[in-house]
Amino acid sequence: MRLGILSTANINRKVIPGAKESPVVDLVAVASRSQEAADTYAREWEIPTAHGSYETLLEDPNVDAVYISLPNSLHVEWSVRALEAGKHVLCEKPLDRRPEEVERAFDTAGRAGRILMEAFMYRHHPQTKRLKQLVDEGAIGELRLIRASFSFPLDDMQNVRALPELDGGGLMDVGCYCVSGSRMLAGEPATVSGRQVLGPTGVDFRFVGTLVFPGDVLAAIDCGLDLPDRGGPLEAIGSEGTLRVESPWHCVDPGIELMRAEGAERIAIEDVDKYRLELENLARAIRGEEPPLLRREDALGQARTIEALYRSAEAGGGPVAL
């Protein structure tokens, strides 16, 4: 898969090493809004082709797929443009908070015969797959409660995460992981409720939510941009025990703690570059060797849940049915 990167965002530094290490990914191009910036970035990361606009990257016949790491508000717009240009797309999360926009993007992918995938890299890590397997196999009995956290302190009020016009906010930036992890374990919620504290720029800097799933499974999520750096945990609590992952999103020192009445054990997990796995899944999906892990249904589930949580919070925290 010949990959082009659309933007020079900071997240790229986590994605590029995995792309360079993979035998099935060839990082061939990068685009910025100016030729000078693109040239500088391409030299720094040893990328063969530098494009001075996003449009010229999409016109490049040597690019099969693009990774879009633009601000949230531009995700669907440039995904659609890339798909219409005949490129497969890996778009950073969240694809969008509006279900109708997610539908539009995937409708475009369908018409173009191209793959669109939302970039939740943690979903590709063996730690995540093992956690899901343990829950499904009944390691903790009947699943009853999920707890998920993600936060960090944001001091720069000009950061894209803090800007309402770019769809910033704690739930969009880090809370979407908590939503994703809860949905992965319990399915689609029937109702949600949320409360938020707005920061100085008008976006949510602190958010807590409750998700109610079929079978009376509950999830409690919290996230924020004005809280200490917490990359987790994610807990699945059942009738007979608890599974706890300390670093569910970054997958640092991966492992799962299983706690039952008879004692606790730590299940060690091999560490693998999750960004590389994500890119390789896309590459193999393009070749028809395996399905994309995250497809239309998952991205729509994310958008519907996030949109409903915001609606609840904006209305004072009452339950919203999905």
Task: Kindly list the catalytic residues.
Answer: 93
Neighbouring CB atoms inside 10 A of 33's CB total 12
> Three-class SS string for 57-91?
HHCCCCCCEEEECCCHHHHHHHHHHHHHCCCEEEE
Going from the C-alpha of 194 to that of each of 86, 215, 298, 315, the distances in angstroms are 39, 20, 21, 9
End-to-end CA distance of the chain: 37
- Reading phi first (left if > 0) and then psi (alpha if -120 to 50, else beta), residue 182 is in alpha
State yes or no: cis peptide before 233, omega within 30 of 0.
yes
Are the C-beta atoms of residues 279 and 1 closer than 8 Å to each other? yes
User: 192: which 2 tokens?
Assistant: 């949600």
- Reading phi first (left if > 0) and then psi (alpha if -120 to 50, else beta), residue 194 is in beta
Please tell me the distance from the alpha carbon of residue 36 to that of residue 203, in angstroms, as a whole number: 33
Query: Partners of 150 in the beta sheet?
Result: 223
Long-range contacts of 261-267 (CB under 8 A, 24+ apart): 267/130, 267/134
Please tell me the distance from the alpha carbon of residue 273 to that of residue 263, in angstroms, as a whole number: 31
